[in-house]
Amino acid sequence: MPISRVAYRYAKPLFDLAQEKGQLEQVYEDMKLISNVCKENKILRVALKNPVIRGFKKRAVLQQLFAEKVQPFTLNLLMLMADKNRANVLFDISKAFAELYDIAQNIQQVLVTSATTLDEATLAALQTKLSNELGKRVVLTAKENPDLIGGLIVQIGNTQIDLSIKNSLQRLTYQFVQS
């Protein structure tokens, strides 16, 4: 799902401020923490998106969860979001910040899905090859999907390269049906 414009409107000033203060790495870690907490805690996500729950209650929850764990201006952003009834976009803001960070650091996130677990040597070789091809530092995330039968799917941003046996069989079936 695409990240909303509202998320970028909050993430960009936070990114610029963190860069200006020389705390980009720390705030990036804050955003990863927020993203992980939101991802793992469905009750929190539902509470933040619930319009019936008042902003001051969301503020208290965010204060309790993150006050001792994040940078002061990250916490200020969380409090501002709660006050302005924008806590529902907290997860999207953390993703938008991560995207801005990756662009600034010349990092490309790549998802590799394979039928079986890939060994470290294969992942390292694939990472090196992709880094050379893309001209960026590649961060690989590996996922397993036995339905692929064999081969792999490489997803780079919005581009997907499907080299799976399942896809090859589907294309062959389609060609037979068409002829």
pLDDT tens-digit profile of 20-58?
999 999 999 999 999 999 999 999 999 999 999 998 999
Cα-Cα-Cα-Cα dihedral sign, residues 88, 86, 59, 96 = positive
Q: How high does pLDDT run on average in the chain?
A: 93
**Per-residue pLDDT, 170:** 92
Number of C-beta neighbours around residue 127 at 10 A: 16
**Per-residue pLDDT, 1:** 56
**Per-residue pLDDT, 4:** 82
pLDDT tens-digit profile of 60-111?
999 999 999 999 989 999 999 999 888 999 999 999 999 999 999 999 999 9
- The answer to whether residues 130 and 53 touch, using CB atoms and an 8 Å cutoff, is no
Burial (0-12, 13-18, 19+ Cβ within 10 Å), 134: middle
**Per-residue pLDDT, 162:** 94
Question: Do the strands 107-114 and 137-144 form a parallel or antiparallel pair, or are they unpaired?
Answer: parallel
**Per-residue pLDDT, 3:** 79
Question: Which contiguous run of DSSP H or E holds residue 8?
Answer: helix 5-21
- The answer to whether residues 108 and 45 touch, using CB atoms and an 8 Å cutoff, is no
**Per-residue pLDDT, 6:** 87
Show the tokens assigned to 175.
């060609």
pLDDT tens-digit profile of 112-171?
999 999 999 999 999 999 999 999 999 999 999 999 999 999 999 889 999 999 999 999
List of domains in the chain: 5-103 (1.10.520.20), 106-178 (3.40.30)
**Per-residue pLDDT, 99:** 95
- The answer to whether residues 155 and 113 touch, using CB atoms and an 8 Å cutoff, is yes
- pTM greater than the 0.85 cutoff: no
- The answer to whether residues 7 and 93 touch, using CB atoms and an 8 Å cutoff, is yes
**Per-residue pLDDT, 73:** 82
Alpha carbon distances (Å) from 19 to 15, 50, 54, 157: 6, 33, 32, 24
The amino acid that residue 141 corresponds to is T
On the question of pLDDT at 2 being above 90, the answer is: no
